[in-house]
Structure 1
Amino acid sequence: MNLKRSSALLGVLAAAGALTLSACGSDNNSSANGAAKIDVACGGKSSLKASGSTAQKNAMDRFVAAYQANCSSAKLDYTGSGSGAGVNDFLGNQTDFAGSDSPLDPAKGETDKAAARCASPAWNLPAVFGPIAVAYNIPGIDDLVLDPPTIAKIFSGDITAWNDPAIKALNSNKADKLPSDKIGVIYRSDESGTTDNFQKYLTAAGGYAKGAGKAFNGGVGEGVKGSDGTSAAVSTTKFTITYTEWSFAKAQKLSTVRVLTTATSNDPKPVDLTAETAAKAVDAAKVKGEGNDLVLDNSSIYKPTTGGAYPIMLATYEIVCSKYSDADTAKAVKAFLTSAVGNGQTGLADAGYVPLPDAFKTKLTTAINAIQ
């Protein structure tokens, strides 16, 4: 695999394609994504600024369209720069809120820094749920089963060929078709909450010993910036594999791994990534945060006790101040988030996301309404 030139090019394209979304005001009763207008307490700051997760980039398109339908003359600029950059922008008071695929990390001092920036506690609000696909490009193979330990060994460099005995054993019906070619691992070169979630999953379910974090620790493969970059690289490079949000895998029409989980059955079956299997995982997710700080217990997702639940999921958190120093900012942030969890949910499944279950919608709405 020779990705050095293509990786550099994709990195430039990803950087150049940083997302800027604007809701410019409309008197129409429907948004650009077909969602009917809802009643929202609009007003406050006329132009919001946010940055962060690329995982929610496609969802933000729909959220901004809903905000536009609900609130005339409102504007939101969102830059999909990666979770790490988004948190840093928020902590530096450069943005009104951040999008991050991992909650603020107390061990890194992020919680305290956010409280200082806000002059109040910051809240982690999981507003976007999306499966992480393990996407691959093997000519002639459009159905592949892997289990967590095997995925972990691939992404740590312990399994290096597509016809490795462990992969053949999980795909006995096509073992003779698996090529001897080297596995080309493609990972996120930028700090990413997607990487953090994926490595946490591998650690919890697959015995991955490299550790979690927003930087990829596997020590193998080629790095490419952004989920759009990694997905495009797999699309154009044979015998490669990556982890990426389902929305980007769908956009590139990539084949995705069926994941074998032990769940609740003595006769486990591989779980295909579908809207239904992803929704089962979200339904089973539990909150471990206190009050309106809705940090999730990831173990309830990574090691499902519900059969047929797809286990590699991430939640993108909107990181907000519980009390803003400027009341106009608070009002606008509340209007945007109310739109996001309201008519912004329309069409999310078509874009590779999981619409919010009613229970989560209720918790989020309570937290949003409590922002001051």
Structure 2
Amino acid sequence: MTTTSLRRVLIPGVAALAAVASLAACGSSDGDSAGDSGSGSSGLSGTVAAGGSSAQEKAQEAWRAGFGADNPDVTITYDPVGSGTGRDNFYSGAYKFAGSDSAIPDEDMSKATAACGGSDPIEVPVFVSPIDIAFNLTGISTLNLDASTIAKIFAGQIKTWNDPAITALNPDAKLPATAISPVHRSDSSGTTDNFTDYLFKASGGAWKTEHSSDWPVQTGEAAEGTSGVVGAIQDGEGTIGYADDSAVASTKLGKVSVKVGDSFVAPSADGAAAGLAASTVVDGADSQLVYDIKRDGTDASVYPVFLVSYLIACPTYDDKATADIVKGFGEFVVSETGQKAAAANALSAPLPSDVADKANAILEKIAAK
């Protein structure tokens, strides 16, 4: 299936989140397609620890601010440790729910089931976002690359920026002989899982390994977390790496437009949403809504390098307070208001209404034992 520091519900001193919380409050009477903007969860109290996907970090800030506006007695911490560690901490019980940019691997499903007392875990999409292939090359802000060339760059087979494979795709660019320095995640990462899935499916055999949350080849520089990758790209001339669009948007890094059919497509939320629409749901338990993402189409409305990030939870919890908080928060996240808040803060694509409705129907079943 392709699939640092604690932060509290309300994060003082972050002006952007005040606007997000205002958006959530104003949207609470919008008649959301899924959930009720959290307003039905008023009166909740308690503390829930969660974590995982660093790509979700800005969205989680928005969601916790919006949910906290309606539920001031609830504290939810979210630690952006990466999808793999987030899932592991969910299996161990350290987190009551996790954010993951890839679905639970088949080999881990028994751990997830055990963590949920023998029941199938919940997996629902909550965040759809383009993955930018970002680079640092003085004087160049955009490049066109096809999947085969990208794969060979990250495999260490294309070593300089003026390589004929790159210049052929960018005849008008003045490309230097600067060495290419690829940057990848050092931690187990759903962003890596999605990026390697794209390389394997779309590169025509240039990338040899199937998708993996752990970087599968011994090339390039390793950096921890989304922020670590972006920082490493910024710090070196000739660097190139991959990261969620929300982390690249505020930088001056260049972005790659990837070849789709006969066109080159820049990263965008709309392109990621079109990619989700072109993908198929994986057969699984009734509590799981997981997508097999199509990466090798020719529709130029699709940006194929994107991630579908999931909320992973249990259908039942030992105490009612925890169950009600996880359920209420999840319903807020997939609500129209929650998705708008994430889009505003994290530049993500709101879930299509039918997907949000299906996710909400699964989350509604969360209860105490």
Deviates more, 1:326-335 or 1:33-42: 33-42
Q: What residue number does 1:21 align with?
A: 8
Matches within 5 A, 1:207-222: 207=205, 208-222=207-221
CA–CA separation in structure 1 for the residues paired with 2:290 and 2:151: 25
Deviation at 1:306, TM superposition (A): 3.2
> Could you say what secondary structure the match of 2:252 adopts?
coil
- Deviation by residue 1:59-94 (Cα, 9 ceiling, x = unmatched): 001100111122231110110111111111110011
Superposition misfits of 4+ residues, deviation over 6 angstroms: none
Q: What residue number does 2:267 align with?
A: 273
Q: 198, 203, 211: which one pairs with 2:200?
A: 203
CA–CA separation in structure 2 for the residues paired with 1:186 and 1:248: 15
One-letter amino acid matched to 1:71: N
CA–CA separation in structure 2 for the residues paired with 1:214 and 1:278: 20
Q: What residue number does 1:84 align with?
A: 84
> Could you say what secondary structure the match of 1:86 adopts?
helix
Q: What residue number does 1:7 align with?
A: none
Deviation at 1:190, TM superposition (A): 1.2
Q: What residue number does 2:21 align with?
A: 32
The 1:311/1:281 distance shift into structure 2, 3 A limit, reads same
CA–CA separation in structure 2 for the residues paired with 1:274 and 1:128: 14
- Deviation by residue 1:31-66 (Cα, 9 ceiling, x = unmatched): 625222333234555111101110100000110011
One-letter amino acid matched to 1:21: R
CA–CA separation in structure 2 for the residues paired with 1:144 and 1:359: 35
CA–CA separation in structure 1 for the residues paired with 2:341 and 2:20: 11
The 1:31/1:210 distance shift into structure 2, 3 A limit, reads closer
For structure 2, list consecutive stretches of 5 or more residues without a partner in the other structure.
12-17, 29-36
The 1:30/1:138 distance shift into structure 2, 3 A limit, reads closer
Q: 287, 296, 318: which one pairs with 2:291?
A: 296
Q: What residue number does 2:109 align with?
A: 111
Please report the RMSD computed on the Cα atoms of aligned residues, expressed in angstroms.
Answer: 1.9
The 1:255/1:31 distance shift into structure 2, 3 A limit, reads closer
* Alignment size in residue pairs: 341
**TM-score, normalised to structure 2's length?**
0.87
> Could you say what secondary structure the match of 2:132 adopts?
strand
CA–CA separation in structure 2 for the residues paired with 1:305 and 1:96: 40
Q: Structure 1 residue 326 and structure 2 residue 319: aligned?
A: yes
Quick one: percent identity of the two aligned structures? Answer: 35
> Could you say what secondary structure the match of 2:142 adopts?
coil
Matches within 5 A, 1:217-366: 217-262=216-261, 268-290=262-284, 291-298=286-293, 300=294, 302-304=295-297, 306-342=299-335, 343-350=337-344, 351-366=346-361
Q: What residue number does 1:187 align with?
A: 184
> Could you say what secondary structure the match of 2:21 adopts?
coil
- Deviation by residue 1:250-285 (Cα, 9 ceiling, x = unmatched): 1223211000012xxxxx110011233222223323
CA–CA separation in structure 2 for the residues paired with 1:346 and 1:211: 33
Deviation at 1:231, TM superposition (A): 0.7
The 1:19/1:313 distance shift into structure 2, 3 A limit, reads farther
CA–CA separation in structure 1 for the residues paired with 2:224 and 2:53: 12
- Deviation by residue 1:303-349 (Cα, 9 ceiling, x = unmatched): 23533210011111111112223332211101111111222222433
The 1:19/1:147 distance shift into structure 2, 3 A limit, reads farther
One-letter amino acid matched to 1:74: V
